[in-house]
């Protein structure tokens, strides 16, 4: 297990030491980032875990289940604990307020867009701001959806902040991380059997308080739009799944007599009409049937492509779209293109 030293180190050495301690988080449809601060404990954002009691963590081929131990919405932080038997590949040390200086170089590590794990961006500390009871570190390091909960580290490899949000679409290079001192305070709370949900003491969280700092312009809060986009996509999939079941039944009834020589997918065999550019070899008297199957399949195809595009514009991660299709039995490779 790797522990990081406090001296300033070459950038590539810091990245090599930090990345193994950073993991992707999946809590239902929500995706984000977390990092190890102990052999079996991690820090992430409260808005990543939401109301979940457990989450799935992944780093490369490693996959763990973790319990949500503590949630503090006021500082947008949460503590996770690995299930028995899990162990951190690397532990990242938390820095202190004295470690933060405006102008110093910093590195953000996270799962950009929820699927690009171990994405590293570089910037500086642009400012240190106090919002209510929360200290926020402002940085120009690129912060993308999916980075939430990841570490913002200095050139010594110390975590000085937990990436939490970026300002709205009209702003550039305005990212914010909750200062590591809040994570340190959260770790001092006694361990509970059930999730310890800390009542906010001032605001509802950093995103709310930043509205005042940004002159009334609310920061980008992609999570609500992402959830709505995911829910809308699920509705389309549910309707498409019902129609797909009808096509399955029609194929089962008619294909043995009409298209016995066509090789089809094991699931949703009618998808072959979308996969093949040339007309399918069907027997005489079956042209109307295959034409109706093709029209229905193309209708589903068009609806799913349009719905996927709308969901992507809402910020729904590609991995979440694939998982939703899998649940509805619509996991055809053609819809990943």
* Active-site residue flag, 3: no
Question: Which DSSP string do the residues of 89-118 spell out, in sequence order?
Answer: SEEPPB--GGG--TT-EEEEEEEETTTEEE
- Burial of 129 per CB tally in 10 Å (0-12, 13-18, 19+): middle
DSSP 122: E
Active-site residue, 47 included: yes
Nearest-angstrom CA–CA distance, 193 and 182? 22
Which SS3 state, helix, strand or coil, does residue 319 take?
helix
Q: In whole angstroms, how far apart are CA 70 and each of 36, 200, 240?
A: 15, 13, 39
Q: In b/e form, how buried is each residue of 198-216, taking b as 16+ CB within 10 angstroms?
A: bebeebebbbbbbeebeee
* Partners of 130 in beta bridges: 135
288 is catalytic: no
Catalytic residue among 76, 117, 154, 182, which? 76
- Contact between 119 and 112 under an 8 Å Cβ cutoff? The reply is yes
User: Which position among 75, 117, 118, 148 bears the catalytic label?
Assistant: 148
**Marked catalytic residue, from 47, 118, 182, 203:** 47
Catalytic (active-site) positions: 47, 76, 148
């Amino acid at each position: 297990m790797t522990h990081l030293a406090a001296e300033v180190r070459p950038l590539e050495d810091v990245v090599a030491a930090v990345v193994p301690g950073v993991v992707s988080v999946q809590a239902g449809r929500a995706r984000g980032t977390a990092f190890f601060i102990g052999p079996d404990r991690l820090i992430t954002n409260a808005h990543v875990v939401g109301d979940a009691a457990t989450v799935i963590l992944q780093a490369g081929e490693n996959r763990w289940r973790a319990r949500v131990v503590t949630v503090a919405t006021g500082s947008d932080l949460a503590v996770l604990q690995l299930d028995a038997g899990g162990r951190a590949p690397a532990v990242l040390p938390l820095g202190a307020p004295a470690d933060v200086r405006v102008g110093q170089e910093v590195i953000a590590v996270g799962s950009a867009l929820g699927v690009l794990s171990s994405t590293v961006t570089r910037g500086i500390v642009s400012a240190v701001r106090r919002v209510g009871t929360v200290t926020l570190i402002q940085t120009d390091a690129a912060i993308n959806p999916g980075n939430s909960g990841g570490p913002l580290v200095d050139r010594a490899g110390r975590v000085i902040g937990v990436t939490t949000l970026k300002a709205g679409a009209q702003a550039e290079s305005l990212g914010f991380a909750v200062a590591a001192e809040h994570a340190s305070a959260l770790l001092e709370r006694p361990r509970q059997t059930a999730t310890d949900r800390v009542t906010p003491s001032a605001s509802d969280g950093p995103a709310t308080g930043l509205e005042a700092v940004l002159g009334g312009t609310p920061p980008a809060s992609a999570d609500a739009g992402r959830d709505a986009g995911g829910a809308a996509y699920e509705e389309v999939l549910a309707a498409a799944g019902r129609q797909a079941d009808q096509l399955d039944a029609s194929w089962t009834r008619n294909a043995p007599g009409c298209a016995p020589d066509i090789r089809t997918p094991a699931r949703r065999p009618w998808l072959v009409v979308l996969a093949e550019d040339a007309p399918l070899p069907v027997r005489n008297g079956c042209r109307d049937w295959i034409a109706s199957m093709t029209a229905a399949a193309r209708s589903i195809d068009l609806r799913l492509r349009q719905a996927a595009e709308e969901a992507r514009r809402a910020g729904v991660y590609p991995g979440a779209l694939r998982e939703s299709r899998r649940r509805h039995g619509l996991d055809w490779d053609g819809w990943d293109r």
